[in-house]
Amino acid sequence: MAEAKSKLKVMFLCTGNSCRSQMAEGWARALKGDVIEAFSAGTNPHGMNPLAIRAMREAGVDISTHTSKRPEELNTSFDVVVTVCDSAHESCPVFPGARVVHVGFDDPPRLAKGAATEDEAMPHYRRVRDEIRAFILTLPGSIMP
C-alpha cells in the first residue's frame, strides 16, 4: 500500500489578515485542499473585512468563520510563506525552513476608499478575489523551486 503524500503547508501573509490573505486561504482550501494545507496570518492583524467575506461568498467560498491572527498564533511550521502584499513582504518575519515567495495583489479597501456605497466598492473586491483565485489555481507548481 502506497504511503499517503503529505500536504504542502502554506501560509498566506499580509498586513491586516483581513482581506487578501484570507481570500487566498479560502481559495486554497476550496480549490487545492487535496495538496495544500492552507493558513493565513497578518503582520498587524485587525479583523475580518466584511466586503472580503461578501466577495468570497458570492464565489461560493465561505470565509465568515475565519479570524484575523498573527503567524505565531498558528503554532506550526510552514513549507512556504506567500506574502500577498508589499508591506508584509518588506516586514516578513523569519520562518525557519520555509521558502518565502512574494505575489503582490492590490488592496481592495484602498482601491474602494472613494466608494460611496458597498455596492460601489464591490467591483474592486471581486477583481482582486478573481486574481487571487487565478494564482491559487497555479499552486503548488508556481511556488516551488
Distance in angstroms (rounded) separating the CA atoms of residues 24 and 80: 13
- Residue 109's H or E segment, with its range, is helix 108-111
Catalytic residue among 85, 103, 121, 143: 85
- The count of other CB atoms within 10 Å of the CB of residue 107 is 20
Catalytic residue among 30, 92, 98, 101: 92
Residue found by looking up cell 498566506 in the block: 12
Catalytic residue among 10, 14, 51, 52: 14
Is 14 a residue of the active site? yes
Are 21 and 41 in contact by the 8 Å Cβ rule? The answer is: yes
Is 85 a residue of the active site? yes
Is 92 a residue of the active site? yes
Catalytic residues: 14, 85, 92
